[in-house]
Structure 1
């Protein structure tokens, strides 16, 4: 595996930002790393990059311990941070040559590598423009090009599609998909549509803990929600035996489960035993937004 996070914990003073999390990412896979603000995503990514040390646990990149061999590990990683810091007064081609030199490439090697990235990232027509003149979409392409210059085995992308228009989104998606064919991609985002369009597997973190780690197909396919309305008040705690319960208006409830089980027959039996009158009931598969909300809502 390309990335292995094991029992990772990070504590700031009295706050446990990351709490004993473990997950891995494989070659050729796009792993969606999701969570609400303050969940611990950025802290985890900073530890994975070797920017900050963990309090406990380890991160390995291509078998290299990030803390023990940080320089060697970073050579295996390409990183596009959320704010995509670029030198806006530099020309695209000039900037990429500068970054190639920072990676130790010189002469013809640097020129060939920059040309390859310019072609792959669709920057041919823009390479002689100043970065400050480019649209947000093309700036993201420049950021991806610099992250790929040294041909890393792992690519970490932090919110790479934020602020892009629909056409730019499609183009960046295609680019990330093509990149993932021979690399491990860890993709952090708040945009659920991007997760559904790009990711093979999803890790969701909330309050420093992992609350889901599964393929997108399994995560969405096994989760169902049952919406039910009763004639009068009922014992909500009794419903919690079926799954996670959210109280709606009046006497309406939403029951959610990850088992994939059809809850309707069970609920009819429970209603009969407790003399509850059901006015309406419907069951449906949950979409990713609903799943994310239920897994990350405040306890």
Structure 2
């Protein structure tokens, strides 16, 4: 059964005319986006397209030069603590403390997100089940396989049950079996959360995402639902190569 979202419920994330300048150079130019629970956005672009800068702004790690970001109705700039309560973030390099056991690390992450007492144990049990980490609680994170380390990293991102999950290259370095398990986990998370997935692997995006955005030279050059592209028989790899060709005008200066 698909949950019905009341009309009064704000989007999980709403971004309007986001811009970032370094000196006179515009590196992100008027990016907008809106996602609800159940949306999985594939956020694509070649190296240097402005994806990393945009993701740093969406997670509150870099202030925009202009524009607004609201997370579950809370303004990320004027009310960052409230907005960040709703964000779970897995950066490309997982933020693991490898000298801690899985349980120690996840309890630490839970406390950082404001959980206390019995809520920590309940959250720990739930997230370990969801991320298939049973039996790893007493093991040091540093001795786990790359696949399990990625699962622990996702577990820390969702232990506080955020509505927005942002994943940056979550399958880098995984073997084919681990990649398939990670993709299934992302699809499962996408049923009850809004997910932003940044990846260079187009087949991965096609397999898990419902919506696509492509950036090139700081601008959004495509924003569409994946099923719309499929209905038009548009090949994602072909359109990516066409839209990110080097002959698109360079970034402007202010």
TM-score (norm 2): 0.90
Equivalent positions of 1:96-245 (< 5 A) are: 96-222=106-232
1:289 corresponds to 2:240 = no
Q: 2:49 touches 2:215 (CA, 8 Å); kept in 1? A: yes
Give the secondary structure class of the aligned counterpart of 1:124: coil
* Structure 1 runs not aligned, ≥5 long: 223-284
Distance between the aligned counterparts of 1:150 and 1:186, measured in 2? 17
Match of 1:73 in 2: 83
Q: How many residues align?
A: 237
Distance between the aligned counterparts of 1:63 and 1:40, measured in 2? 25
Distance between the aligned counterparts of 2:129 and 2:33, measured in 1? 34
Give the secondary structure class of the aligned counterpart of 1:142: helix
Q: Residues 8-30 of structure 1: CA distance to partner in whole angstroms, max 9, x if unpaired? A: 11001132110112121121110
Match of 2:22 in 1: 12
Match of 2:57 in 1: 47
Deviation of 1:221 after TM superposition, in Å, equals 3.8
Give the secondary structure class of the aligned counterpart of 1:106: coil
1:298 corresponds to 2:249 = no
Q: 2:229 touches 2:235 (CA, 8 Å); kept in 1? A: no
Distance between the aligned counterparts of 2:222 and 2:190, measured in 1? 22
Deviation of 1:107 after TM superposition, in Å, equals 2.2
Distance between the aligned counterparts of 2:131 and 2:225, measured in 1? 28
Q: Residues 9-55 of structure 1: CA distance to partner in whole angstroms, max 9, x if unpaired? A: 10011321101121211211101111111111111111111111111
Distance between the aligned counterparts of 1:12 and 1:180, measured in 2? 34
TM-score (norm 1): 0.77
Give the secondary structure class of the aligned counterpart of 1:114: helix
Distance between the aligned counterparts of 1:44 and 1:188, measured in 2? 11
Q: 2:40 touches 2:190 (CA, 8 Å); kept in 1? A: yes
Q: Choose 1 or 2 for highest CA Rg.
A: 1
1:64 corresponds to 2:37 = no
Equivalent positions of 1:22-37 (< 5 A) are: 22-37=32-47
Distance between the aligned counterparts of 2:230 and 2:92, measured in 1? 27
Deviation of 1:91 after TM superposition, in Å, equals 0.4
Q: Residues 170-207 of structure 1: CA distance to partner in whole angstroms, max 9, x if unpaired? A: 11111111111111001110000110100000011110
Deviation of 1:220 after TM superposition, in Å, equals 4.1
Q: Residues 138-159 of structure 1: CA distance to partner in whole angstroms, max 9, x if unpaired? A: 1110011000111101101111
Give the secondary structure class of the aligned counterpart of 2:43: strand
* Structure 2 runs not aligned, ≥5 long: 1-10, 248-254
The RMSD of aligned alpha carbons is 1.1
